[in-house]
Amino acid sequence: MKRLLFLVPLAAFLVLAGYLGFGLTRDPQKVPSALIDRPAPAFDLPAVPGLALAGLSNETLKGQVSIVNVFASWCQPCRVEHPIFMRLARESDVPILGLNYKDKAEDARKWLGDLGNPYRAIGYDIEGRVAIDWGVYGVPETFVVDRSGTIRFKHVGPVTPAVLDDMLKLIAQLKRAA
Amino acid sequence: MIFAVLALVTAIVVAMMVWPILRKTKAPPTRAAFDMEVHRDQLEEIARDLARGTIDAREAQAARAEIGRRMLALASEPAAEPAHTGGSRLLAAALALALPATAFALYIDRGAPGAPGVPFAEQRAAGTNQDPQIVEFARTLRARVASNPEDLEAWVRLAQVSAVFNMAEDALNAWRTADRLAGERPELAGPLGEAAVLAANGQVTPEAQRAFARVLAADPGDPRARYYAGQALAQAGDLNAAVRMWFDLAAASAPDAPWLPTVREAMTQAAREARIDLSRLRPSPDNRPAVSSIAPPQSVFAAGANPSVPPGGQALLALPEAERAQAIRGMVEGLAARLEAQPDDLEGWQRLARSWQALDEPEKALAAYARTAEIAPDQIQVLDAYADALLALHDPDTRLDASARKAMASLLERSPNNALALWLVGLDEVAAGNQLAATALWQRLLALLPEGTPARAELVERIAKLKAGN
């Protein structure tokens, strides 16, 4: 009986390994979000200081199907997806709204100056509080919000051409639905 | 020094593992001994109660008898078996031996005891060109632009030197200034764009895109601008347009164009991602040859003294043409003589090979390349350079010599889809009269070449000729 006690750590390890192993087979970008099909949390963010662009609040979201992109100048994957938003801003009329996450204003300004600015409005979330309300746990993240201000889609990680296609299909649908 | 420290750490680890095993463990009190202690306490308690008068003598007697019976029963129980320690001493010895032995064996297998130490300062310097003449030259240039910020030539040179030193930000700033001073000429736009891409770790920034757009406005054929314009499209997610751009560029390039492998790789990857079937693509009807008419950046300032050449070279440039050629030949011969004594200096032999090639000495160049392949018979890059040289210098109607054949076989073994090697070994087989072997190699090569390229057309013709000859 006492001997069996020694097997407890091994059993615990096996259980943990099995659980983590199962976790490895799952796509981390498909985390179920509690916010899907729920109204976006109430928020009102100022503009990025020194940038001639409006801030972001629930009012901005109302009445238009829009893309909300959480970004930061210190985030490398954000650089990768940025040209995709630049092209989208050039070639379509879907408003892209930015949520600048835990960034210094001057860094954000330089970043947008170097890489271009696809955003119609940017909320400056230096403390990251609003991002927490939105359920953001890593930049970049991208949301699609419908006319009523309800979150319809969420993508964690850089947007790829394939993800963009999915988003554009959904946006077209949402526009027709209204 | 380091090995003494490692030995000490190993000793400590062994000690930590062996100590608890060897330590004489105090036997835990047995259940019986513990119970006996309790009974002894009970006996004392009875004596105290009796003294206080809470129990009378008869009760005390009965209680003592009961406790005495229990103590007797305890004493007659078999003693607990003694803890055994013989096995653990053996285990400790095995551990003390096995741990250092395994560590040592692993190090011999995976480690590199002969590798020289690389202190931090050397690591930094390794990324840059340590040639003191170039370092001095860079310093002169910085002084020149500091004293005269309008010195266009110095800015262009500084940009070029900064690129050599891997200082992408500095190079970009210098190109920006030079471009502004020169009045935004297409000659500078190409290098400016490329510097912007390098400074952004490969991202074709809006600034770089504008620069390449300027180049393409001046010359739509410019291969560098076309490659990066494709890259910008791919990064923006427009993979179809990017593949189209690169496909046209590859189709319009000479088969030995140095950028071709890069373009092909980018194109293949984008095509795979976008599920585009490359074999169905045809070059655009208005495709331009991938050649640039844009002059090199140096052309934007009047040709005067050529400060891109380090001081020693300045004297070289001053010599008349024939004497200069003689002096350069003398330097290369000096290098060759020095390398005779250093048959394993890979870098030296590579430099010698390139020098002979530049001096149009095919036999000496090929001999030097053969040496590089003997020094590094498993480095694909070395073998690749050799293959390049063979393509340029070797007479295609004769057989490869033994060392070249061995090097190309080694290259094919390591990279079975190496187009150059497939082509060269195929030629060798033809020269040897092995039409079948040649056809097999060239069929493999054919599968690698995109449709509609001149190289493919020529290869198809060659294969047809081989089959007709059989």
pLDDT in tens, B342-383: 888 888 898 888 888 877 888 888 889 999 998 888 888 888
- Nearest residue of B to residue A89 by CA position? B236
What pLDDT was estimated at residue B304? 43
> Tens digits of per-residue pLDDT, B178-210?
999 888 888 899 999 999 999 988 899 999 999
Mean pLDDT on B223-250: 94
Local confidence band at B316 (pLDDT 50, 70, 90 cut-offs) = low
> Tens digits of per-residue pLDDT, B78-117?
655 555 555 677 888 888 888 889 988 888 887 776 666 6
Instruction: Say what percent of chain A tops pLDDT 70.
Output: 93
Higher pLDDT, B122 or B402: B402
Write out residues 253-282 of B within 8 Å (CB-CB) of A.
273-274
Pick A83's closest partner by Cβ from B207, B236, B273: B236
Tell me the two tokens of residue B454: 């001149």
Selection from B158, B220, B221 nearest residue B191 by Cα: B158
Pick A161's closest partner by Cβ from B200, B204, B237: B237
What pLDDT was estimated at residue B197? 94
Query: What mean pLDDT, rounded, does chain B reach?
Result: 82
Residue B237 to residue A115, Cβ atoms within 8 A: no
What pLDDT was estimated at residue B215? 94
Give CA–CA dist B353/B335, Å, rounded: 11
Dihedral sign from CA coordinates of B170, B173, B175, B178 = negative
Residue A105 has pLDDT above 90, yes or no: yes
Mean pLDDT on A142-154: 93
- Nearest residue of B to residue A82 by CA position? B236
Local confidence band at B303 (pLDDT 50, 70, 90 cut-offs) = very low
Which span out of A106-110, B401-405, B412-416, B463-467 was modeled with the highest average pLDDT? A106-110
Write out residues 173-212 of B within 8 Å (CB-CB) of A.
200-201, 203-207
Give CA–CA dist B219/B216, Å, rounded: 5
Instruction: Say what percent of chain B tops pLDDT 90.
Output: 18
Q: How far is B241 from chain A (nearest CA, A)?
A: 13
Cβ pairs A/B, distance under 8 A: 35
Mean pLDDT on B17-30: 70
Local confidence band at A12 (pLDDT 50, 70, 90 cut-offs) = very high
What pLDDT was estimated at residue A142? 95
Query: Please, what's the b/e burial string for B437-461 (b: 16 or more CB within 10 A of its CB; e: otherwise)?
Result: ebbebbeebbeebbebbebbeebee
Which residues in chain B touch residue A164, judged by CB atoms under 8 angstroms apart? Answer: 237
What pLDDT was estimated at residue B311? 47
Instruction: Say what percent of chain B tops pLDDT 70.
Output: 87
> Tens digits of per-residue pLDDT, B400-450?
888 888 888 888 888 888 888 888 888 888 888 888 888 888 888 888 887
Q: Which amino acid is at A134?
A: W
DSSP structure class, residue A159: P
Interface predicted TM-score (ipTM) of this complex, two decimals = 0.74
Give CA–CA dist B162/A24, Å, rounded: 45
A87 CB contacts (<8 Å, ≥6 apart)? B236, B237, B238
- The packing angle between helices B435-448 and B419-432, to 10°, is 160
What pLDDT was estimated at residue B115? 67
Chain A residues with CB under 8 Å of a chain B CB are 79-80, 83-84, 86-87, 114-116, 160-161, 164
What pLDDT was estimated at residue B8? 92
Local confidence band at B323 (pLDDT 50, 70, 90 cut-offs) = low
Mean pLDDT on A81-106: 94
Residue B325 has pLDDT above 80, yes or no: no
Report the range of poorest mean pLDDT among A5-19, B118-132, B133-147: B118-132
